[in-house]
Amino acid sequence: MTGAEPAAARTTLSALVHRAVLFELGVWRSLFRWTTRRPLGPEGTETFSYADPVTPVIWAFIGLSAIEIPVAHLLLPWPAARAVVLVVGIWGLTWMLGLLASLQTHPHVVGGSGLRIRYGTTVDITIPWNAVASIGVRRRDLPSSRTVQLGRIDFGTVLHVGISSQTNVDVALRDALTVPLPRAPSPSPRFVSTPTTPAPSSPVRGNTSHRTAESAFRSESAARPNAHCAAPPQVQVAPGITTPVS
């Protein structure tokens, strides 16, 4: 083993610990914002959720954890063990509520300066309006369940930010855009895809702006106010395209 290898291992471990601490703090901060009903976005912006596909699953785990706590208390005969399980169980239950809160309190944001694509506290990508060529609707099934995925197309890199292995909104970019990622070097994708509910039903072409994008994102909910979006919307960003990706 060379001298550089232990240093690289320490750097990697330090980065992992740093991300874990930030994620943990984000979970508890999100729970506080959720319980105190803080605003989801700045004044004058429109927010769009993407958490619907995974919310029932998280609630199921929360319910099971709530059942496990009293069951373990009744089954364990040792007071010390019951105390430890009680503390761990309450922490785990509260943590899962915070995980759900992180998705609920960090929606996508459409504002005067551009689109803000988020996933919990780990993904936060801002796309200015002058970088957007068009916004359209297209459901895509992703190859894995990872939240952040990179792909290739004929003219560049595709960045998917999905949920439940799906996306459904395409945002075409005029130029490649360098974006920050939580676990990888910052790529310069030609497309970015991400979930949001409800999914828009009509494309926006040409001079995309705050209001036209807002109209597209809201079109399906206005037409079908009681509809539930079965698949999370996707935002896909690509440079050099002047019409929605087909």
Give the other-Cβ count within 10 Å of 40's Cβ: 17
Q: Is residue 200 part of a domain?
A: yes
Judge if pTM exceeds 0.85. no
Q: CB under 8 Å to 41, separation ≥6 — which residues?
A: 47, 107, 109, 111
Q: Which residues of 42-55 are buried (b: 16+ CB within 10 A; e: fewer)?
A: eeebbbbbbbbbbe
Segment 76-108, tens digit of pLDDT: 999 999 999 999 999 999 999 999 999 999 999
- Domain containing residue 150: 129-223+230-238
Q: Answer whether residue 204 is part of any domain.
A: yes
Which residues face 123 on adjacent strands?
A: 119
Amino acid at 143: P
79 lies in a domain?
Answer: no
pLDDT at 193: 61
Number of domains in the chain: 1
**Residue 215 CA: distances (Å) to CA of 21, 117, 202:** 38, 17, 9
pLDDT in tens, 50-81: 898 899 999 999 999 999 999 988 899 999 99
Residue-wise pLDDT tens digits, 115-130: 898 999 988 988 898 8
- Cβ neighbours for 30, distance < 8 A, ≥ 6 positions apart: 98, 101, 102, 104, 105, 106, 120, 121
